[in-house]
Amino acid sequence: MPQRTDLFELGRLGLTSGEGRRLDLFVHLEPFEYGGSVYAVTPELVPVRLDVSRTTAQGWALRLRFSATLEGPCMRCLDPAAPEFEVDAYEVHQPGGGEELTSPYMEDELDVEAWARDALALALPAQLTCRPDSAGLCPQCGANLNEDPGHTHDSAPDARWAKLSELKFE
């Protein structure tokens, strides 16, 4: 079982100006609540790649990359959905560099978990679906249109139109 990292103390890497290090860590991400449903993040321990560079003037340049899957109901057809998302995020932290160069995830340690969670949230689309072209449910009867693409109803206007046509040709 890999070891879970929530916070990581960058200082312990002992990097000097211009040096860098690549780290492979594992974070646990809490489920997302989305459109009234709960979506678990899998795997349980998400492998993340963290690139750390020590900049001049005691700053840090950081890059975080990972892919994670959200599991929950499709927002269109309610079937199980497990869309996967790629995350590639950057942070710069420069002590004394002003608000723009201050990372919200850097205190004494880097909050890898909070950063990963926010970065994944930014990567999510407006709708979580079983597949990009999920056809959803029939608004009249609730049938799953993915399973029944030719699904139709004899709607009232059509029936009236048919009657009208008959009258014309009589």
Q: Do β-strands 37-42 and 32-34 pair in parallel, antiparallel, or remain unpaired? A: antiparallel
Site for Zn ion in 99-158 (CB under 5 A): 130, 134, 138, 140-141, 143
State the Cα–Cα distance between residues 72 and 70, nearest whole angstrom. Answer: 7
**Among 39, 37, 20, which residue's Cα sits nearest to residue 29?**
39
Smallest distance, Zn ion to C-beta of residue 116, A: 27
Q: Per CB under 5 A, which of residues 33..72 are in contact with Zn ion?
A: none
DSSP 141: T
Phi, psi at residue 159, to the nearest 5°? Answer: -60, -45
Q: Work out how close the CB of 153 gets to Zn ion at its nearest, in angstroms, rounded to a whole number.
A: 5
Task: In whole angstroms, give the CA distance from residue 19 to residue 154.
Answer: 70
N residues, the chain: 170
Q: Shortest distance, CB of residue 144 to Zn ion, whole angstroms?
A: 8
Instruction: Name which position in 29, 74, 89, 137 contacts Zn ion (CB under 5 A).
Output: 74
Establish if 77 lies at the interface with Zn ion (CB under 5 A). yes
Size of the site for Zn ion (CB under 5 A): 10
Q: Which one of 76, 93, 94, 119 is in contact with Zn ion (CB under 5 A)?
A: 76
CB atoms within 10 A of CB 100: 7
User: Taking the complex as a whole, how short is the minimal distance between the CB of residue 77 and Zn ion, in angstroms?
Assistant: 3
Task: For CA atoms 80, 42, 85, 123, give the dihedral sign.
Answer: positive
Q: Which two tokens stand for residue 53?
A: 């560079």
> Among residues 5 and 134, whose Cβ is nearest to Zn ion?
134
Cβ proximity to Zn ion, 45 vs 145, nearer residue: 145
Q: Which CB atom, from 141 or from 164, has the smaller least distance to Zn ion? A: 141
List residues near Zn ion by CB under 5 A: 74, 76-77, 79, 130, 134, 138, 140-141, 143
